Structure 1
């Protein structure tokens, strides 16, 4: 089992709610003091310490121990406003004292009960405001500690593994309390809609993530988990990875992609239901499938349980189960080839269990190899899943988990499954009327995996469930033809991949109301351009996606793919840009300066606003050809202090005189490179500019908003 440091073994995490691994306790004295605010916590204890101005090693160790006590006991007491004894969270093992999470949820649930019996709404709101202030103070303190990491007093005095374990416990406790507070206090308190995320703590673990997890975990999956929450990261590090029998490990995978999920069609072989099985293949009535597709009908299959004779029906005449799977599980095929009879028996059994007397649809049996008919089947894929009575997810990783496992375990297996990482399964999930997962010993619908009761206070469960439940967040009404917006689905795409890059627009077109039949007739390299034109209204921040861009003028801002755009995903923005054949019409915040020519040695830029004296720090993000010139940065809005947001380096050229545009005051520009921009204090700018290994260029700028046509 993986762990963060020299933590001692503790009770099975399947028997308790995970927050963090047992962590070395540095000996800070907590008991014997009154409950105070976070700001007062250290002052109260340091008053009783001798030689507080002494900088000896002993005194520094004492202060570091108190910092640990501050971010643990001090934070908890300031939130729950009740004494929390050392005994509730400290354990002695082999003569050493450890901080444990075993008693944390007992404290949380006792706090929850005290808040719930507080009938006075004003008192309740006031408590919520105090919690908000405490969390804000904690967030600032912890962020400052991480930001000052090179000069951190903690780093100077502790072994690296112990230090990382301790820092992780700080963030995990804060995350747990934040989740609980969000579910406790009424709307209208200052806590409402506040995001006190401690995800910045993950920076310390990024380079060690692979060694933290047990052997067998894919680097790509670890990257996914790292982006969810601290507690989820910690919980997953205690679980064994699922490995398909076909793959010994993920040694060829990277944090950019899991190659184990990709398949080579030239060497592809189906898997039998058992290793010893050598049964023959069952093939559906192919001509009947051809005829229905030619007539614009969706073919579905029923089977005689005794003879296993397959019958093809139009989907409009019989309710059916749509099977959603990944080809890496070796259930892929085409109508003309069929599947092993042992697998067909299993599929029929699952169908009858979920929908007695019904049929089923599966691409492996209902999508033929015949080129034109295959295109028709793909063109009707969205309709196929939208009209299914049940969509059943069949995935080897999920099926390895029992229905009786903890909810956190079941959710983890879904989130880390191959099914969640593949492109085509996205629309299969989003369009499902009734989404059901197959586990080792039964089925559970997605609604049964939504946390209730005490589980809504569990940080691991809540964060994992949000990844799964978002699949039904935007349910498509069956009488509505417009579908989702691109913003609705963009966040789902960033961790998905496909063996065929040209399939991206085909797999999502049906979700946004674009005619798949048109796209499937186009060469793969033409599809993204036509797709964006048909969508029409786009999120303006689509230009900030890193990665390769289109090469045709008018579309050089457009991504070749929206998958795996983790550095600057298209999410959280309204559709506020218009895609035209002549370019993207949009409005952005802008900082303008003298033309800069990109040099290899310049990694950071500091821009000083000539009017407001605001200082912008611009960091390198994605590659660009050396020698490219730019004279402005575009961004959605000017950043707040220390807020880092993506921006596009562009070359503004001239006023746009295109007669097709309604606005005559637009400026033409081309995207040259993607950066990250933030606002910093003069002190930070001076410090970074003076560091020898950081080459910087100071520029004077003017800021404002500008309407552009990006070509």
Structure 2
């Protein structure tokens, strides 16, 4: 055995060498009859010291346990310290250098590539077993749980740093590196300092894993924004950002120091430009609002703001206080100074300086019945037409200026971490429309107390003296992320229409970012997301109501990962779209919550049948008959039928429990409110995201969906002549799959999610009542409606 193999083998065989029992297939540790002190000691020895010694040993750097111990306390207690870690990382960097590009895949003849692969394997191994210990921690008494959580935190912090270093040195893709997540210890520390549970992760859009170091750093600071009690907040969004504007009660505000001024109404010329499909832009000379058409020959700035700061309107007229107009005009003039702004000199102020044209929704999106339907023509809604233009309005603007009162309270000279926090905690960063406005901007600029600054300006200033490969920055890349992460997100490269990825994948990314967003009008969500993804939002606007618009949005997306049907979001209640999320807002989980396995690889996209036709997918499942929907929360036992032939194993030495010899327990979850009427002996389908084989099931609960089978589909598929029966298939060894596949598509009207548990024959009492089901193969095609 080579030296490199020795390191990896010794690391992975720790529990075997120290007498711990592990499951031969899953590797699960047995904690039975182990004292909490034993468990904590083995955790620290194997995954803290073992990981450090093994990873540095793999690159030839000797590390000893005592290098990370300190006995400096007065009573002689020994503490774990990472003081030497940056020095060891510096040695690692000197030996290996950094990678300027991703590592070549499968370059097995390159020793450096082999070292990188071994290190990734060790980090993933540590992550797997750390999660195993964490589950055991939850069963312990408080005093032991607290000690275990401290040990787990030390491992997470150390391993997150090593992941960051390995990624830089070997060019590893982030997706192959584990994400270490937060810690109960750090979560409590954050709460004690006034942070909301939704604030972490601080870099939710990041593909760089730095959640532990971020929580540790920010948890040591008092939250710079007081938001009151967070006990009613969710982990997706703080309640402070969920306040909705009621147009009838809305009041605009004056600027500080204004002693009273009049409200200025936008001229009708702006409305006429919207009628013509043009962009009305404004210039305020202190007395009159001048209106012109914004285009490449008449450059303009758009203003992005939150209505809670008092710059909106009451949905009755397009007007704004004169003091606010003067402030906005002054700010955009300053922003346009030194920039090429064709047409900006056509109107000048009292001081003779040019007035830069600007667009703001308060004045330029028509409101009021007479503006929505000019001249009594009820066939046009100018507000919808203006909203349909907004993607182009923001894309064509030379700059987008962000006005938010919380950001405005910080000076431009502040540290980049403080600037990041101001934006991260601002109302602007948590509204749906402003996400669209920031994503679509050519250049996004934030107004601070004493001047405006773009993300590019912030990054340039910070990176001037920043060494991203310094050991301390690799171990904790906090400053780098504060300087670049929001810029990368609002640049929209991942989400935009030219991103080069399928729109369904971009929709999935977008849905993750919408978890902490809110809007006062639920029907606006699908419009904003369509704009961000480069879809024709005008077609979405043709529908009325949030659900109808969302359905049209899905028609425009067109193709989906079939695993989306198993998502955890609330669902649309419209026929043909019951498989689909009703909203992406305030939803923490990913849209795709089914893991990839060797048995369920990432499937091909499936095409939606538009206008309510449903989503065709291919998955295994089973069918049963019942007069009523099983009561939610009440377990039911199911057993697949074998058509009476009593199939037996088809090869020598097979000992696995076959699918048809197993019993399944099913519990109904969250039933859709709009459940269709049921008939006598109603036929139900349960559709499964993976293979129902005991050794390969994901950790319980195993979530599936259930729905009503179309009455036109013949019953009893196992006896029908058209059935194609594939009793056994063995593409991955001794794995047994369900046997029946019906030619053609089975329409199913979604009703609810269910949780499935695979029970062994020995755990089910002989007299336990169960329901016979017909099982379908994983290539069965369904149409989820």
Please classify the TM superposition score into its range, dividing by the shorter chain length: 0.7 to 0.9
2:512/2:590 contact within 8 Å kept: no
How much has 1:665 moved relative to structure 2? 0.9
From 277, 291, 297, the counterpart of 1:312 = 291
Map of 1:116-131 to 2, 5 A cutoff?
116=97, 122-131=110-119
Structure 2 residue matching 1:263: 3-state secondary structure: coil
| Residue number in structure 1 paired with 2:274 | 293
Work out the number of aligned pairs and report it.
Answer: 641
> Aligned to 2:555, which of 533, 545, 563?
533
SS in 1 for 2:134: helix
Query: Which position in structure 2 is the counterpart of 1:241?
Result: 223
Q: Equivalent of 2:364, from 347, 366, 377?
A: 366
Q: Which runs of 4+ in 1 moved over 6 A?
A: 40-46, 117-121, 223-228, 449-452, 477-480, 571-574, 604-609, 612-620, 625-630, 695-700
Note the alpha carbon deviations across 1:235-256, whole angstroms, 9 max, x for none.
4433333437xx6555654446
Match of 1:134 among 101, 122, 125: 122
1:6-405 aligned at under 5 Å gives the runs 37-39=10-12, 61=37, 64-65=40-41, 67-81=43-57, 82=61, 83=63, 86=66, 90=70, 92=72, 95=75, 97-100=78-81, 104-116=85-97, 122-150=110-138, 155=140, 158-186=143-171, 193-199=175-181, 209=187, 212-214=190-192, 216-222=194-200, 229-243=211-225, 248-250=228-230, 253-255=233-235, 257-261=237-241, 262-265=243-246, 266-274=248-256, 277-281=258-262, 283=264, 285-304=266-285, 307=286, 309-316=288-295, 317-333=297-313, 336=317, 338-356=319-337, 357=344, 358-369=356-367, 370-371=371-372, 372-400=381-409
1:449-598 → structure 2 map (5 Å cutoff): 453-454=468-469, 455=473, 458=476, 460=478, 469-471=488-490, 472-474=492-494, 476=496, 486-487=507-508, 489-525=510-546, 526-569=548-591, 575-595=605-625, 597-598=629-630
Q: Is the 8 A contact 1:610 1:700 kept in 2?
A: no
Structure 1 window deviating more from structure 2 (541-550 vs 581-590): it is 541-550
Instruction: Give 1:312 deviation, angstroms.
Output: 2.2
How far residue 291 of structure 1 moved from its aligned partner, in angstroms, is 2.2
Q: 2:631: which partner in 1?
A: 599
Residue 549 to residue 133, structure 1, CA distance change in 2 (3 Å): closer
Could you tell me how far apart the structure 1 residues matched to 2:36 and 2:584 are? Answer: 50
SS at match of 1:437: strand
Checking the alignment, whether the CA contact within 8 Å between 1:540 and 1:576 is kept in structure 2 is yes
Q: Aligned partners of 2:203 and 2:576: how far apart in 1? A: 37
Q: Render the CA deviation track for 1:614-649: whole Å, top value 9, x for unaligned.
A: 898877663457998774443555595436775322
Shift of 1:97: 5.0
Q: Secondary structure at the match of 1:283?
A: strand
Structure 1 unaligned blocks of 5 or more:
1-33, 47-54, 658-662
1:652 aligns with 2:709: yes
CA–CA separation in structure 1 for the residues paired with 2:425 and 2:759: 40
What CA deviation, in whole Å up to 9, does each residue of 1:651-699 have, x standing for no partner? 3346779xxxxx9811110112124668x896xx989x99xxxx99998
Larger CA Rg, structure 1 vs 2: 2
The aligned residue for residue 17 of structure 1 is: none
Deviation of the 1:361 alpha carbon: 1.7
Give the Cα–Cα distance (whole angstroms) in 2 for the partners of residues 355 and 78 of structure 1: 57
Contact 1:286 1:336 in 2 (8 A): no
Alignment CA distance shift 1:544-1:252 (3 Å)? same
**Whole-angstrom CA distance in 2 between matches of 1:44 and 1:319:** 72
- SS of 2:620's equivalent in the other structure is strand
CA distance in 1, matches of 2:499, 2:158: 46
SS in 1 for 2:221: coil
Equivalent residues of 1:538, 1:579 under 8 A apart: no
Q: In the alignment, is the contact (CA less than 8 A) between 2:190 and 2:220 conserved in 1?
A: no
Checking the alignment, whether the CA contact within 8 Å between 1:281 and 1:338 is kept in structure 2 is no
Taking a change above 3 Å as real, the CA distance of residues 436 and 279 of structure 1, as seen in their structure-2 partners, is same
When residues 397 and 569 of structure 1 are mapped into structure 2, their CA distance, relative to the original with a 3 A threshold, is farther
Identify, as 1 or 2, the structure richer in strand. 1
TM-score computed with the length of structure 2 as normaliser: 0.68
